[in-house]
Amino acid sequence: MRSLTSLFVAAAVAAVSAAAMAENAPASAGEGMAAAFRSRAEVLADLEMFQRSGLGYLPSPTGYVESEQSAEYRRAYAEYQRLLAGPDYREAVARYESQPPAGR
């Protein structure tokens, strides 16, 4: 009887875990693929915008959950989103694309 209860609890935990992971999955395979396949220039430009916004100087919300709630973090994140949507990001991508690869 005890092993049956343990099996039931394990199955319930697995089902809840699977449901939680499904909520975080992209709506379509294309959405996840677009984020996974960025050019080197896009990644470098994104990093530049991240640093310029000030997010690189703040604690990561992954390690410090309360930092995501601070006004300073929210301001920096809003600036990061603005930079990504604006011409600065596109100019940085173009600049990185025009640079020859390092070490070749």
Per residue in 47-95, pLDDT (tens digit) is: 999 999 998 888 777 666 676 778 888 899 999 999 999 999 999 999 9
In whole angstroms, give the CA distance from residue 58 to residue 70.
Answer: 10
* Confidence grade of residue 16 (pLDDT, cut at 50, 70, 90): very low
Helix-strand-coil split of the chain, %, nearest 5: 75, 0, 25
In whole angstroms, give the CA distance from residue 51 to residue 100.
Answer: 23
* Confidence grade of residue 38 (pLDDT, cut at 50, 70, 90): very high
